Amino acid sequence: MKKYVTTLLKLCFAALLIYYMIATGRLDLHQISQIIYKKSMIFTVVLTLLVIIMLGTIRWYYLLLWQGIPTSFKTVLRINCIGIFFNIFMPGALGGDLVKAFYIAKDSKARKIGAVMTILLDRIIGFQTIMIVAFVALLFNHKIMLSNLQLQTIAYSIAFYIVCSFIAAACVFSIKAKNLFVSMGAKQLVYRLPKKDFFLQVYDALHIYANQKMKLFKAVAITIAIDVLSIYMFYTIGKSMGEDLVSLTSYLTVIPVGLLMLSLPIAPAGIGVGQVAFYNLFLWFGARSGNIGATIITVYQVISVSLSMCFVFVYLGNRKDVKKALINTT
Protein backbone atom coordinates (compact mmCIF):
# COMPACT_ATOMS: atom_id res chain seq x y z
CA MET A 1 0.00 0.00 0.00
CA LYS A 2 2.88 2.37 0.81
CA LYS A 3 4.35 1.89 -2.68
CA TYR A 4 1.02 2.63 -4.37
CA VAL A 5 0.47 5.73 -2.21
CA THR A 6 3.98 6.95 -3.07
CA THR A 7 3.31 6.45 -6.77
CA LEU A 8 -0.02 8.27 -6.49
CA LEU A 9 1.67 11.21 -4.75
CA LYS A 10 4.31 11.38 -7.51
CA LEU A 11 1.59 11.40 -10.17
CA CYS A 12 -0.27 14.19 -8.36
CA PHE A 13 2.94 16.20 -8.01
CA ALA A 14 3.67 15.79 -11.74
CA ALA A 15 0.11 16.85 -12.60
CA LEU A 16 0.39 19.95 -10.40
CA LEU A 17 3.65 20.96 -12.06
CA ILE A 18 2.17 20.54 -15.54
CA TYR A 19 -0.93 22.53 -14.51
CA TYR A 20 1.28 25.29 -13.11
CA MET A 21 3.35 25.45 -16.31
CA ILE A 22 0.22 25.67 -18.48
CA ALA A 23 -1.60 28.15 -16.22
CA THR A 24 1.37 30.52 -16.16
CA GLY A 25 1.83 30.33 -19.92
CA ARG A 26 5.20 28.60 -19.65
CA LEU A 27 3.98 25.53 -21.52
CA ASP A 28 2.17 26.16 -24.81
CA LEU A 29 0.01 23.16 -25.74
CA HIS A 30 -0.83 24.68 -29.14
CA GLN A 31 2.86 24.91 -30.00
CA ILE A 32 3.36 21.30 -28.94
CA SER A 33 0.45 20.14 -31.13
CA GLN A 34 2.09 21.82 -34.13
CA ILE A 35 5.55 20.39 -33.49
CA ILE A 36 4.32 16.85 -32.87
CA TYR A 37 3.10 16.53 -36.48
CA LYS A 38 6.51 17.18 -38.06
CA LYS A 39 7.12 13.72 -39.50
CA SER A 40 10.81 14.09 -40.34
CA MET A 41 11.59 15.24 -36.80
CA ILE A 42 9.51 12.44 -35.27
CA PHE A 43 11.30 9.87 -37.45
CA THR A 44 14.74 11.20 -36.46
CA VAL A 45 13.91 11.22 -32.73
CA VAL A 46 12.38 7.73 -32.80
CA LEU A 47 15.35 6.35 -34.74
CA THR A 48 17.77 7.99 -32.28
CA LEU A 49 15.84 6.59 -29.31
CA LEU A 50 16.01 3.10 -30.80
CA VAL A 51 19.78 3.42 -31.27
CA ILE A 52 20.10 4.64 -27.66
CA ILE A 53 18.08 1.65 -26.43
CA MET A 54 20.27 -0.68 -28.49
CA LEU A 55 23.48 0.84 -27.08
CA GLY A 56 22.09 0.63 -23.54
CA THR A 57 21.31 -3.04 -24.15
CA ILE A 58 24.85 -3.66 -25.43
CA ARG A 59 26.29 -2.04 -22.29
CA TRP A 60 24.17 -4.19 -19.97
CA TYR A 61 24.91 -7.31 -22.06
CA TYR A 62 28.64 -6.77 -21.58
CA LEU A 63 28.23 -6.21 -17.82
CA LEU A 64 26.34 -9.50 -17.56
CA LEU A 65 29.03 -11.41 -19.47
CA TRP A 66 31.80 -9.85 -17.37
CA GLN A 67 29.84 -10.84 -14.25
CA GLY A 68 29.92 -14.45 -15.46
CA ILE A 69 26.20 -14.67 -16.24
CA PRO A 70 25.84 -16.47 -19.59
CA THR A 71 23.06 -15.10 -21.76
CA SER A 72 22.32 -14.08 -25.33
CA PHE A 73 22.02 -10.56 -26.72
CA LYS A 74 18.51 -11.36 -27.96
CA THR A 75 17.44 -12.28 -24.41
CA VAL A 76 18.99 -9.14 -22.92
CA LEU A 77 17.31 -6.95 -25.55
CA ARG A 78 13.93 -8.53 -24.82
CA ILE A 79 14.32 -8.07 -21.06
CA ASN A 80 15.52 -4.50 -21.51
CA CYS A 81 12.43 -3.63 -23.58
CA ILE A 82 10.20 -5.13 -20.88
CA GLY A 83 12.08 -3.12 -18.25
CA ILE A 84 11.56 0.11 -20.22
CA PHE A 85 7.83 -0.59 -20.36
CA PHE A 86 7.65 -1.18 -16.59
CA ASN A 87 9.74 1.91 -15.81
CA ILE A 88 7.31 4.13 -17.71
CA PHE A 89 3.95 2.63 -16.82
CA MET A 90 4.45 1.08 -13.38
CA PRO A 91 6.79 3.38 -11.43
CA GLY A 92 7.19 2.57 -7.77
CA ALA A 93 4.97 -0.51 -7.72
CA LEU A 94 7.07 -2.88 -9.83
CA GLY A 95 10.01 -1.06 -11.31
CA GLY A 96 11.58 -2.07 -14.58
CA ASP A 97 15.00 -2.60 -12.99
CA LEU A 98 13.51 -5.07 -10.54
CA VAL A 99 11.88 -7.02 -13.37
CA LYS A 100 15.10 -7.02 -15.39
CA ALA A 101 17.23 -8.26 -12.50
CA PHE A 102 14.84 -11.02 -11.46
CA TYR A 103 14.15 -12.13 -15.02
CA ILE A 104 17.83 -12.43 -15.95
CA ALA A 105 18.50 -14.41 -12.75
CA LYS A 106 15.45 -16.69 -13.04
CA ASP A 107 17.45 -19.80 -13.94
CA SER A 108 19.59 -19.74 -10.81
CA LYS A 109 19.00 -18.11 -7.44
CA ALA A 110 22.77 -18.10 -6.90
CA ARG A 111 23.08 -15.52 -9.68
CA LYS A 112 20.46 -13.21 -8.22
CA ILE A 113 22.94 -10.90 -6.44
CA GLY A 114 25.24 -10.73 -9.45
CA ALA A 115 22.34 -9.93 -11.78
CA VAL A 116 21.08 -7.17 -9.50
CA MET A 117 24.60 -5.74 -9.32
CA THR A 118 24.79 -5.50 -13.13
CA ILE A 119 21.60 -3.41 -13.06
CA LEU A 120 23.01 -1.22 -10.29
CA LEU A 121 26.36 -0.79 -12.03
CA ASP A 122 24.64 -0.06 -15.34
CA ARG A 123 22.71 2.73 -13.63
CA ILE A 124 25.81 4.04 -11.87
CA ILE A 125 27.86 4.17 -15.08
CA GLY A 126 25.05 5.99 -16.88
CA PHE A 127 24.57 8.49 -14.05
CA GLN A 128 28.30 8.98 -13.46
CA THR A 129 29.01 9.67 -17.13
CA ILE A 130 26.20 12.19 -17.53
CA MET A 131 27.47 13.90 -14.37
CA ILE A 132 30.96 14.23 -15.83
CA VAL A 133 29.62 15.43 -19.20
CA ALA A 134 27.43 18.02 -17.44
CA PHE A 135 30.32 19.25 -15.28
CA VAL A 136 32.71 19.57 -18.25
CA ALA A 137 29.99 21.39 -20.22
CA LEU A 138 29.41 23.81 -17.32
CA LEU A 139 33.14 24.55 -17.18
CA PHE A 140 33.15 25.09 -20.94
CA ASN A 141 30.35 27.66 -20.48
CA HIS A 142 31.95 29.04 -17.33
CA LYS A 143 31.00 32.66 -18.07
CA ILE A 144 27.28 31.83 -18.00
CA MET A 145 27.78 29.57 -14.99
CA LEU A 146 29.58 32.25 -12.97
CA SER A 147 26.82 34.74 -13.69
CA ASN A 148 24.08 32.42 -12.42
CA LEU A 149 23.88 31.36 -8.76
CA GLN A 150 21.69 28.32 -9.53
CA LEU A 151 24.16 26.99 -12.10
CA GLN A 152 27.03 27.53 -9.65
CA THR A 153 25.16 25.48 -7.03
CA ILE A 154 24.57 22.71 -9.58
CA ALA A 155 28.25 22.76 -10.61
CA TYR A 156 29.49 22.55 -7.00
CA SER A 157 27.04 19.73 -6.23
CA ILE A 158 28.13 17.77 -9.29
CA ALA A 159 31.82 18.30 -8.43
CA PHE A 160 31.24 17.06 -4.86
CA TYR A 161 29.41 13.97 -6.16
CA ILE A 162 32.14 13.17 -8.70
CA VAL A 163 34.87 13.35 -6.05
CA CYS A 164 32.90 11.15 -3.62
CA SER A 165 32.01 8.65 -6.35
CA PHE A 166 35.63 8.26 -7.46
CA ILE A 167 36.67 7.64 -3.85
CA ALA A 168 33.91 5.03 -3.51
CA ALA A 169 34.91 3.40 -6.80
CA ALA A 170 38.54 3.21 -5.66
CA CYS A 171 37.42 1.47 -2.46
CA VAL A 172 35.31 -1.09 -4.35
CA PHE A 173 37.38 -1.81 -7.45
CA SER A 174 40.93 -1.37 -6.18
CA ILE A 175 42.69 -4.58 -5.17
CA LYS A 176 45.16 -2.54 -3.09
CA ALA A 177 42.25 -0.92 -1.23
CA LYS A 178 40.76 -4.36 -0.57
CA ASN A 179 44.04 -5.64 0.85
CA LEU A 180 44.33 -2.50 2.98
CA PHE A 181 40.84 -2.97 4.41
CA VAL A 182 41.60 -6.62 5.17
CA SER A 183 44.83 -5.67 6.96
CA MET A 184 42.90 -3.10 9.03
CA GLY A 185 40.50 -5.79 10.23
CA ALA A 186 37.55 -4.86 8.04
CA LYS A 187 36.93 -8.55 7.29
CA GLN A 188 36.36 -9.36 10.94
CA LEU A 189 34.05 -6.35 11.25
CA VAL A 190 31.95 -7.49 8.28
CA TYR A 191 31.61 -11.00 9.73
CA ARG A 192 29.96 -9.48 12.79
CA LEU A 193 27.20 -7.81 10.74
CA PRO A 194 23.67 -9.32 10.91
CA LYS A 195 23.52 -9.94 7.12
CA LYS A 196 27.20 -10.57 6.49
CA ASP A 197 26.57 -13.12 3.71
CA PHE A 198 24.50 -10.63 1.73
CA PHE A 199 27.07 -7.83 2.07
CA LEU A 200 29.92 -10.17 1.11
CA GLN A 201 28.00 -11.34 -1.98
CA VAL A 202 27.32 -7.73 -3.00
CA TYR A 203 30.97 -6.75 -2.56
CA ASP A 204 32.23 -9.83 -4.42
CA ALA A 205 29.79 -9.21 -7.29
CA LEU A 206 31.10 -5.66 -7.70
CA HIS A 207 34.74 -6.58 -7.06
CA ILE A 208 34.64 -8.99 -10.03
CA TYR A 209 35.13 -5.91 -12.21
CA ALA A 210 38.34 -4.96 -10.36
CA ASN A 211 40.45 -6.86 -12.91
CA GLN A 212 38.33 -5.67 -15.83
CA LYS A 213 38.90 -1.92 -15.70
CA MET A 214 39.49 -1.60 -19.45
CA LYS A 215 36.17 -3.35 -20.03
CA LEU A 216 34.50 -0.85 -17.73
CA PHE A 217 36.02 1.95 -19.82
CA LYS A 218 34.33 0.32 -22.81
CA ALA A 219 31.01 0.62 -20.99
CA VAL A 220 31.78 4.28 -20.26
CA ALA A 221 32.56 4.87 -23.96
CA ILE A 222 29.19 3.38 -24.90
CA THR A 223 27.54 5.70 -22.38
CA ILE A 224 29.28 8.74 -23.83
CA ALA A 225 27.91 7.76 -27.26
CA ILE A 226 24.43 7.55 -25.69
CA ASP A 227 24.84 11.03 -24.18
CA VAL A 228 25.97 12.50 -27.51
CA LEU A 229 22.96 10.98 -29.27
CA SER A 230 20.66 12.34 -26.56
CA ILE A 231 22.04 15.86 -27.07
CA TYR A 232 21.63 15.50 -30.85
CA MET A 233 18.04 14.34 -30.37
CA PHE A 234 17.08 17.38 -28.28
CA TYR A 235 18.97 19.65 -30.69
CA THR A 236 16.88 18.20 -33.56
CA ILE A 237 13.64 18.96 -31.71
CA GLY A 238 14.82 22.50 -30.94
CA LYS A 239 15.78 23.19 -34.56
CA SER A 240 12.41 21.93 -35.78
CA MET A 241 10.86 24.70 -33.67
CA GLY A 242 12.99 27.34 -35.39
CA GLU A 243 15.08 28.00 -32.27
CA ASP A 244 18.39 29.46 -33.47
CA LEU A 245 19.49 31.63 -30.55
CA VAL A 246 20.61 28.69 -28.42
CA SER A 247 23.97 27.49 -29.76
CA LEU A 248 25.04 23.88 -30.06
CA THR A 249 27.59 24.44 -27.27
CA SER A 250 24.73 25.58 -25.01
CA TYR A 251 22.85 22.38 -25.83
CA LEU A 252 25.96 20.48 -24.70
CA THR A 253 25.40 22.02 -21.25
CA VAL A 254 21.62 22.30 -21.07
CA ILE A 255 20.80 18.70 -22.03
CA PRO A 256 23.16 16.85 -19.62
CA VAL A 257 22.10 19.09 -16.72
CA GLY A 258 18.44 18.74 -17.71
CA LEU A 259 18.76 14.95 -17.92
CA LEU A 260 20.19 14.96 -14.40
CA MET A 261 17.01 16.71 -13.23
CA LEU A 262 14.92 14.10 -15.05
CA SER A 263 16.74 11.28 -13.25
CA LEU A 264 15.53 12.51 -9.84
CA PRO A 265 12.88 10.05 -8.54
CA ILE A 266 10.31 12.79 -7.97
CA ALA A 267 7.82 12.17 -10.78
CA PRO A 268 7.18 9.31 -13.25
CA ALA A 269 9.37 9.68 -16.37
CA GLY A 270 10.38 13.15 -15.12
CA ILE A 271 7.03 14.59 -16.19
CA GLY A 272 6.55 18.06 -14.71
CA VAL A 273 10.06 18.19 -13.26
CA GLY A 274 11.51 18.17 -16.78
CA GLN A 275 9.27 21.03 -17.90
CA VAL A 276 10.35 23.26 -15.01
CA ALA A 277 14.05 22.36 -15.35
CA PHE A 278 14.29 22.80 -19.12
CA TYR A 279 12.26 26.04 -19.02
CA ASN A 280 14.82 27.64 -16.71
CA LEU A 281 17.89 26.10 -18.34
CA PHE A 282 17.00 27.31 -21.84
CA LEU A 283 16.14 30.74 -20.45
CA TRP A 284 19.56 30.96 -18.79
CA PHE A 285 21.36 29.96 -22.00
CA GLY A 286 19.91 32.53 -24.37
CA ALA A 287 16.60 31.19 -25.69
CA ARG A 288 13.94 33.71 -26.73
CA SER A 289 11.75 32.28 -24.00
CA GLY A 290 11.88 29.44 -21.51
CA ASN A 291 8.80 28.05 -23.28
CA ILE A 292 11.19 26.60 -25.85
CA GLY A 293 12.77 24.33 -23.26
CA ALA A 294 9.42 23.26 -21.79
CA THR A 295 8.13 22.45 -25.27
CA ILE A 296 11.24 20.48 -26.26
CA ILE A 297 11.14 18.22 -23.20
CA THR A 298 7.37 17.71 -23.56
CA VAL A 299 7.74 16.65 -27.20
CA TYR A 300 10.52 14.28 -26.18
CA GLN A 301 8.43 12.77 -23.39
CA VAL A 302 5.42 12.27 -25.68
CA ILE A 303 7.57 10.45 -28.25
CA SER A 304 9.50 8.36 -25.71
CA VAL A 305 6.38 7.32 -23.78
CA SER A 306 4.64 6.43 -27.06
CA LEU A 307 7.63 4.30 -28.07
CA SER A 308 7.70 2.63 -24.65
CA MET A 309 4.03 1.79 -25.09
CA CYS A 310 4.98 -0.38 -28.07
CA PHE A 311 7.06 -2.57 -25.76
CA VAL A 312 3.86 -3.81 -24.10
CA PHE A 313 3.72 -6.40 -26.87
CA VAL A 314 7.16 -7.69 -25.86
CA TYR A 315 5.91 -7.98 -22.28
CA LEU A 316 2.67 -9.71 -23.26
CA GLY A 317 4.63 -12.24 -25.26
CA ASN A 318 6.76 -13.05 -22.19
CA ARG A 319 4.24 -12.37 -19.41
CA LYS A 320 4.28 -15.91 -18.00
CA ASP A 321 8.08 -16.02 -17.87
CA VAL A 322 8.23 -12.63 -16.13
CA LYS A 323 5.68 -13.65 -13.48
CA LYS A 324 7.45 -16.97 -12.92
CA ALA A 325 10.81 -15.23 -12.55
CA LEU A 326 9.41 -12.78 -10.01
CA ILE A 327 7.80 -15.56 -7.97
CA ASN A 328 10.89 -17.80 -8.00
CA THR A 329 13.36 -15.09 -7.02
CA THR A 330 11.43 -13.26 -4.29
Model confidence pLDDT, tens digit, residues 102-160: 777 765 555 677 777 888 888 888 888 888 888 888 888 888 888 888 888 888 988 99
Alpha-carbon radius of gyration of the chain: 21
d(CA 98, CA 95): 5
pLDDT (tens digit per residue) in 302-330: 899 889 888 888 888 877 776 665 555 45
pLDDT (tens digit per residue) in 20-66: 888 888 888 887 887 877 889 999 999 999 999 999 999 999 998 88
Lowest mean pLDDT of 236-240, 247-251, 279-283, name the range: 247-251
pTM beyond 0.85? no
Q: How distant, in Å, are the alpha carbons of 23, 270, 303, 306 from that of 310?
A: 32, 19, 11, 7
Contact criterion met (CB below 8 Å) for 129 and 161 = no
According to the model, what pLDDT value does residue 59 have?
94
Neighbour-count burial for 186-211, b at 16+ CB within 10 Å, e otherwise = eeeeeeeeeeeeeeebbbebbebbee
The contacts of residue 246 (CB under 8 Å, 6+ apart) are 238, 254, 282, 285, 286, 287, 292
Q: What percent of the chain clears pLDDT 70, i.e. is strictly above it?
A: 81
The contacts of residue 293 (CB under 8 Å, 6+ apart) are 254, 258, 277, 278, 279, 280, 281, 282, 283, 287
Query: Per-domain residue ranges for the chain?
Result: 38-329
pLDDT band at 183 (very low <50, low <70, confident <90, very high): low
Q: What is the 3-state secondary structure of the chain?
A: CHHHHHHHHHHHHHHHHHHHHHHCCCCCHHHHHHHCCCHHHHHHHHHHHHHHHHHHHHHHHHHHHHCCCCCCHHHHHHHHHHHHHHHHHCCCCCCHHHHHHHHHCCCCHHHHHHHHHHHHHHHHHHHHHHHHHHHHHHHHCHHHHHCCHHHHHHHHHHHHHHHHHHHHHHHHHCHHHHHHHHHCCHHHHHHCCCCHHHHHHHHHHHHHHHHCHHHHHHHHHHHHHHHHHHHHHHHHHHHHCCCCCCCHHHHHHHHHHHHHHHCCCCCHHHCCHHHHHHHHHHHHCCCCCCHHHHHHHHHHHHHHHHHHHHCHHHHHHCHHHHHHHHHHHC
Q: How distant, in Å, are the alpha carbons of 57, 112, 298, 312 from that of 305?
A: 18, 29, 10, 11
Q: How distant, in Å, are the alpha carbons of 141, 193, 199, 293, 330 from that of 196?
A: 47, 5, 5, 48, 19
The letter for the amino acid at 208 is I
Lowest mean pLDDT of 148-152, 154-158, 172-176, 223-227, name the range: 172-176
